[in-house]
Amino acid sequence: MKQTRKVWINIDPFSLQSRLTVGIASFSALALGSLATWTSWKMQQILVDSHKYNIEQIAKRLPQDVQIYSEMMQPETGLQKAINNLANTNTLLWLKSPDHKTLVKSATLYLLSNATVDELMSLTKMPIKPQVYKVNQSYFVLCGSSVKVKGKLLGELFVVKDITREQKMFVVMVQSLSIMSVLAIVVLTAADRILY
């Protein structure tokens, strides 16, 4: 304890060494903080863009599937079958008519709680940008596009991708990057004090 007090007493805040230490620590914090921020932003963009691409492919494929199924069965049944074929446990779909009534939903939508489904559907009442939305304790990427079959507008297709697992991994990586940045700044500052 007395040793620590002697060290603090011997530190002159106006000395060249102290000013250099503060300068190096500030520069390191700025450089590493900028790098960590840019890296996390870029990783988030890659995550959203990859899921956005998958969602856009589903939206492009649905009209073709609806047309094929509609030739073999009733149009409503063909629409439901096409939606269910494109959905899975992580991809949820529903189609709203031009007057905003839900025409069909994927069967996988029932795997979520009613509160989560209501929240997701309320998000689709406003313009959607493909980005990560947090609903309850889960993360989703939402995307919407209009669906036309034989030139006739069926309605607006909403595709939701559950990315909770990937988002949690992303958050852990950002936290690790932040911790490593802070540790690097502390080590650089301590090394500067020891060397001088």
Q: Is 128 part of any domain?
A: yes
Q: Is 6 part of any domain?
A: no
In whole numbers, what is the pLDDT of the chain averaged over residues? 78
Q: Is 82 part of any domain?
A: yes
Q: Token digits for 193?
A: 């004090």
Alpha-helix residue ranges (DSSP H) falling in 73-127: 75-86, 114-123
Note down the domain range covering 51.
36-172
Question: At 59, is the pLDDT very low, low, confident or very high (cuts 50, 70, 90)?
Answer: confident
- Selection from 192, 176, 194 nearest residue 26 by Cα: 192
CATH number reported for the structural domain that contains residue 145 in this entry:
3.30.450.20
Q: Is 141 part of any domain?
A: yes
Q: Is 27 part of any domain?
A: no
Dihedral over Cα of 163, 165, 166, 168: its sign = positive
3-state secondary structure of 90: coil
pTM: 0.65
Q: Which one-letter DSSP state was computed for residue 101?
A: -
Q: Which one-letter DSSP state was computed for residue 153?
A: E
% of the chain beyond a pLDDT of 70: 87
Q: Is 2 part of any domain?
A: no
Give the per-residue pLDDT at 196.
57
Alpha carbon distance 58, 60 (integer Å):
5
Number of domains the chain contains: 1
Give the per-residue pLDDT at 11.
64
Q: Is 104 part of any domain?
A: yes
Give the per-residue pLDDT at 75.
72
Q: Which one-letter DSSP state was computed for residue 124?
A: T
Q: Is 100 part of any domain?
A: yes
pLDDT tens track for 103-146: 888 888 888 888 888 888 887 765 566 777 888 888 888 887 77
Question: Around Cβ 144, how many Cβ atoms within 10 Å?
Answer: 18
